[in-house]
Amino acid sequence: MSVVMLEFVRVAAAASLPPGTGRTVWARGREFALFNLDGQFFALDDRCPHRGASLGAGFVEGGTVYCPMHGWAFDAKSGACQSNPERPARAFPTRVRDGEVEIGLESV
């Protein structure tokens, strides 16, 4: 059994993302959608599994993110797709350290 190690990578200043908003951030050459829900941060793979639109550019309402291309709805915390449960967006752990949001990525 292999153990997956996470490395937390800084992606944004926490103060740069107001509550109720999201945006695309980059880490290790990849794009992630980062959301601030009432002061808690959540990260998803930025590409919608439907047509690849940027979820970071989507509309956030409550804990739901809507894809800007076709309106698919995703739970910002888990990545579960409410529009098509078989097509979730991958979620990544986050934490805030010294005012910076970090995303947990598998160590390379």
pLDDT digits (tens, 9 = 90+) for 5-59: 899 999 999 999 999 999 999 999 999 999 999 999 999 999 999 888 999 999 9
Domains in the chain (CATH in brackets) are 6-106 (2.102.10.10)
pLDDT at residue number 97 = 97
CA-based end-to-end distance of the chain: 17
State mean pLDDT over 63-71.
Answer: 93
pTM over 0.85: yes
The SS3 assignment for 101 reads: strand
Is the pLDDT score of 108 beyond 70? Answer: no
CA 32 to chain centre: 5
The SS3 assignment for 78 reads: coil
